[in-house]
Amino acid sequence: MSKKILVLGTGAQGTTVAKRLDLEPNVEEVICADYDPKAVENIVSQLKKGRGVQVDAHDKDSIVAAAQGVDLILNGLPLECTKNVLDAALEVKANYQDYASTINMENVWRESEEAKADKDIRCKKITAPGTQKWFDSLKAQFEIYGPKFEAIDRLAIVGTGSAPGLICCATRNAMKYLDKCDTIYNFVWEGAIAERFQPFWWSPVTALTDMSEAGIAFENGQFVNTPAFGNPVKRQYDYMDEEITFMEHSHDEPLHYGFNAEKYFKGCKNAYFKYAGAGMDFAKPLSEAGLLSREEKDFNGKKVVPFDFILSHIPPAPKYKEEIQAIIDEGLKKDAGCMVIEAYGQKDGKDVLVETHVSAPGFVDSFEKAGITAEMYLTGQGGFLFSKMFVNDKFDQKGLISSDMLSFDQVDTYFDYASELDITLDTVVKELN
């Protein structure tokens, strides 16, 4: 049966998925929605099955009006809009998918008296929370929204971009090769460097927040906070010209792996997300100098928030084809990167390392294939693969799940689809002495 899809948010991720869904035979209509009518018009003009609508996502009723009769709502909006979109999906009895994951919104999920009293809570700037609050928010999302989606016989799947999303599927795939898992590392290296000043290929506010806030790890079966830019580890794989230092990064993956350790990750006791690249190298000295502080400071008699001041001087991530072409024309210093999963554990009584490398198009290849950056390609296509599984009826789950909670058969389907987009896995099992 053909599906109608509502794509909320026509930024880099939303436009990439919309273009792909437009080519799917089981998709009847792609409804593109955003607050910016120009952005909507831009993407709809490139689609055969597209229709545009303006939506104010801070107004649930606006989402409900746009979502009438749709089978899936694909949420590519900022995190503060998540509750509105989830509630709208429930009201119109649609399935739900987002690219992000969990943040400190427990009060919002649970609709506490404090949240009800604070009418602007969903519009406030949200930063990475402490470990316990982050875990509580994840738990609340499952406890509150899982039963609601199950009651209407629908599925909500969260965290379906590249990380979380693609990397979670690759980590889940690694479990095929283990009887028991002890430790998981997720490594991401953003190695594309342009001649022009462009420290981030995705939202600068998201990037600087994730980099400067305390991270989270799963250690000895417990969730712990980790220092920003802390606990460095070094790796040099055979396609790297030099050794790369990976540092702590505020990300969802260790939270999900720990939360699902027994059922989906072979009893995993330790999980870490480590990041490296030009963006980290740019942000680290700023953080050390106190320039990523969100606390108001007095400077020559004026009140200044360092984080906001720095952010105002950072160029936004390139979004349109002509912007990306200009960057390529000016030249790249490096077009590289990696996404690697290391899973340590036991197989047939032996200690082993399951090492998985995700291969995907680089910056120039991504532009040649789709007119987008490598970051947009991996995130957007990673999200699209979950959407493709939905429109082809590959999900039998109901309720709420995260992208790491797929069956092995579903993981196989995901990467079968991914290979069509030149996203592949290279996995080797190494015995450890």
Q: What percent of the chain is predicted at pLDDT more than 70?
A: 93
| Selection from 314, 278, 282, 286 nearest residue 189 by Cα | 278
Q: How much is the pTM? A: 0.90
Q: What is the pLDDT of residue 126?
A: 33
Give the integer Cα–Cα distance in Å for 181 and 285.
36
Q: What is the pLDDT of residue 301?
A: 87
On the question of pLDDT at 245 being above 90, the answer is: yes
Give the integer Cα–Cα distance in Å for 116 and 112.
6
Mean pLDDT of all residues in the chain? 89
Q: What is the pLDDT of residue 25?
A: 96
Query: What's the mean pLDDT in 298-322?
Result: 89
DSSP string, 274-294: EEEEHHHHHHHHHHHTTTT--
Cα 224 to Cα 129, 134, 174, 214, 258: the distances in Å are 12, 11, 24, 10, 11
Q: What is the pLDDT of residue 319?
A: 78
Cβ distance 313 to 294 under 8 Å?
Answer: no
Domain extents in the chain: 3-158, 166-370+422-431
Give the integer Cα–Cα distance in Å for 131 and 404.
20
pLDDT for 87-144, tens place per residue? 999 999 999 999 876 555 555 666 544 444 443 333 333 334 456 677 777 888 888 9
pLDDT for 363-376, tens place per residue? 999 999 888 888 88
Give the integer Cα–Cα distance in Å for 12 and 433.
45
Give the integer Cα–Cα distance in Å for 213 and 293.
10
CA atoms within 13 A on the CB side of 421: 26
Q: What is the pLDDT of residue 14?
A: 86
Beta bridge partners of 52: 32
Q: What is the pLDDT of residue 119?
A: 38
Q: What percent of the chain is predicted at pLDDT more than 90?
A: 70
Topology classification of domain 166-370+422-431: Dihydrodipicolinate Reductase; domain 2 (3.30.360)
On the question of pLDDT at 379 being above 90, the answer is: no
Identify which has the larger pLDDT, 42 or 89: 89
pLDDT for 156-185, tens place per residue? 999 998 989 999 999 999 999 999 999 999
Q: What is the pLDDT of residue 8?
A: 94
CATH number at 3-158 = 3.40.50.720
